[in-house]
Amino acid sequence: MKRICFLPVVLLLTGLLCGCTGQQQNDPSPQEHNHAMEEGTETPKYDHLTAYSPLPESETLLYCSAFRKDTGITVDCIHLPAGEMTARLEQERDNPQASVLLGGSADNYIQLREAGLLEAYQSPELTDVPEAYLDEQGVWNPIYIGTLCFACNTDWFARTGTPMPTCWDDLLSPALAGQIVMATPKSSGTSYTTLATLVQMRGEDKAWEYLQKLDQNVGLYTRSGVEPAERVKNGEYAVGIVFSHDAFRAALDGYPIEVRSPADGTGYEIGACALVRGAPEQERENARTFIDWLTSSRGEECYIEAKSCRLPANSTARAADGLPPLDEVKLITYDLEWAGENRTRLISYFDTHIYSARTLRQHRTIKAAVLCGNFVS
Q: Are residues 135 and 151 in the same domain?
A: no
Q: Are residues 214 and 66 in the same domain?
A: no
Q: How far apart are CA 141 and CA 126, in angstroms?
A: 8
Q: Are residues 52 and 141 in the same domain?
A: yes
User: Which residues are paired to 119 by β-bridges?
Assistant: 275
Q: Are residues 240 and 256 in the same domain?
A: yes
Evaluate whether residue 205 is within a structural domain. Answer: yes
Evaluate whether residue 376 is within a structural domain. Answer: no
Evaluate whether residue 114 is within a structural domain. Answer: yes
SS3 of 39-94: the string is HCCCCCCCCEEEEEECCCHHHHHHHHHHHHHHHCCEEEEEECCHHHHHHHHHHCCC
How many domains would you assign to the chain?
2
CATH number, domain of 166, equals: 3.40.190.10
Q: What is the pTM of this model?
A: 0.79
Closest by Cα among 337, 341, 339, 311 to 326: 311
pLDDT of residue 9: 37
Closest by Cα among 98, 143, 83 to 302: 143
Evaluate whether residue 80 is within a structural domain. Answer: yes
Q: Are residues 163 and 216 in the same domain?
A: yes
Domain interval for residue 132: 44-145+269-328
Evaluate whether residue 224 is within a structural domain. Answer: yes
Q: Are residues 131 and 235 in the same domain?
A: no
pLDDT of residue 359: 67
pLDDT of residue 15: 39
Whether residue 181 contacts residue 276, with contact meaning beta carbons closer than 8 Å, is answered with: no
Q: Are residues 176 and 252 in the same domain?
A: yes
Q: How far apart are CA 309 and CA 299, in angstroms?
A: 14
Evaluate whether residue 356 is within a structural domain. Answer: yes
Q: Are residues 262 and 362 in the same domain?
A: yes
Closest by Cα among 148, 140, 149, 138 to 106: 140
Write the CA distances from 149 to 48, 118, 329, integer angstroms: 37, 30, 10
Evaluate whether residue 354 is within a structural domain. Answer: yes
Can you list the residues of the chain whose pLDDT is less than 50? 1-44, 363-367, 370, 377
pLDDT of residue 26: 40
pLDDT of residue 324: 84
